[in-house]
């Protein structure tokens, strides 16, 4: 198997704003990102981000890939989440995450990469996305279609629907035709830490499309205790987690519901970003 890697990065200065990533650090005009000759699929994405942390709040991050190089149309992916309770100091580093996908592509055509900041404006984000092209799907991977939603969980023990996608306020929850299951999930969640407490977060998948009834998965935990007077609290940044081989059966052309929920003692607002990868 042959692989090739193509990367774009950039700054995202505004909330809920589709922002194209067009640069390659010192290469300010690297030209169009074309699907390399001989490549048939994007088999992976390497995603990373960091926030300026210039406001005491929380946020989420995701990316979109679009353009005539994608055989099945636009796709989206969770990139991370984070926040801080005191915007006066701190240092943070977030490792890159490799995410398995299986997006069929058309060689010689262009792909555009966009990033978005969601939740509450924390200042700005820096985001880098690498697309991993291959001339065949690995034996353990399938072609997939993506569906990303996000939202804020603002109260303890309260099921909260994740119904938006940044600048897209009402993404369709209808399961695409031709798929039979959820192959994997990519999830990130974090809190703004504006109250002392400790919580565990869940993701719920339901609706008529989920054939086995509602499924609930643990997606993370968070806690906060206030620092002493005059001290700074460290900011937080969370990379996405991929749940592979979840194999939740779904019915195509029916509606799925995605919800977040937090249990424990309230720590403030939880930001949840979730990507479903469907497969046949």
Model confidence pLDDT, tens digit, residues 185-205: 999 999 998 889 999 999 999
What is the reported pTM? Answer: 0.96
What pLDDT is stored for residue 226 in this prediction? 78
Q: How far apart are CA 35 and CA 115, in angstroms?
A: 19
Q: How far apart are CA 131 and CA 12, in angstroms?
A: 19
Sheet holding 75-83, edge to edge: 19-20, 112-119, 58-66, 75-83, 236-238
Walk along the chain (280 residues) and give the pLDDT tens digit of each residue.
999 999 999 999 999 999 999 999 999 999 999 999 999 999 999 999 999 988 889 999 999 999 999 999 999 999 999 988 877 777 888 999 999 999 999 999 999 999 999 999 999 999 999 999 999 999 999 999 999 999 999 999 999 999 999 999 999 999 999 999 999 999 999 999 888 999 999 999 999 999 999 999 999 999 988 776 656 677 888 999 999 999 999 999 999 999 999 999 999 999 999 999 999 9
Q: Where are the alpha helices (DSSP H) in the chain?
A: none
Q: How far apart are CA 220 and CA 205, in angstroms?
A: 16
Q: How far apart are CA 195 and CA 173, in angstroms?
A: 33
C-alpha 33, offset from chain centre: 21
């Amino acid at each position: 198997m042959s692989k090739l890697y193509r990367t774009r990065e950039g700054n995202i200065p505004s909330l809920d704003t589709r922002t194209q990533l067009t640069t390659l650090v010192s290469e300010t005009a690297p030209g169009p990102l074309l699907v390399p000759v001989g490549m048939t699929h994007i088999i992976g994405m390497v995603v990373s981000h960091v926030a300026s942390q210039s406001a005491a709040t929380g946020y989420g991050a995701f990316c979109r890939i679009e353009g005539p190089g994608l055989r099945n149309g636009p796709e989206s992916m969770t990139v991370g989440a984070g926040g801080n309770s005191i915007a006066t100091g701190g240092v943070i580093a977030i490792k890159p995450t490799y995410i398995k996908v299986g997006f069929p592509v058309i060689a010689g055509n262009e792909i555009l990469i966009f990033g978005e900041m969601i939740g509450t404006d924390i200042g700005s984000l820096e985001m880098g996305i690498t697309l991993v092209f291959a001339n065949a799907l690995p034996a353990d991977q399938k072609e997939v279609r993506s569906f990303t939603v996000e939202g804020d969980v603002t109260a303890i023990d309260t099921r909260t629907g994740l119904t938006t996608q940044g600048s897209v306020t009402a993404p369709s929850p209808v399961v695409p035709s031709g798929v039979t299951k959820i192959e994997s999930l990519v999830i990130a969640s974090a809190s703004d830490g504006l109250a002392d407490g400790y919580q565990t977060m869940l993701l719920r998948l339901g609706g008529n499309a989920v054939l086995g009834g509602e499924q609930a998965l643990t997606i993370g935990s968070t806690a906060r205790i206030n620092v002493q007077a005059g001290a700074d609290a460290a900011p937080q940044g969370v990379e996405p987690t991929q749940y592979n081989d979840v194999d939740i059966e779904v019915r195509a052309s029916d509606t799925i519901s995605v919800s977040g929920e937090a249990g424990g003692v309230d720590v403030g607002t939880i930001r949840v970003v979730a990507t479903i990868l469907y497969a046949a």
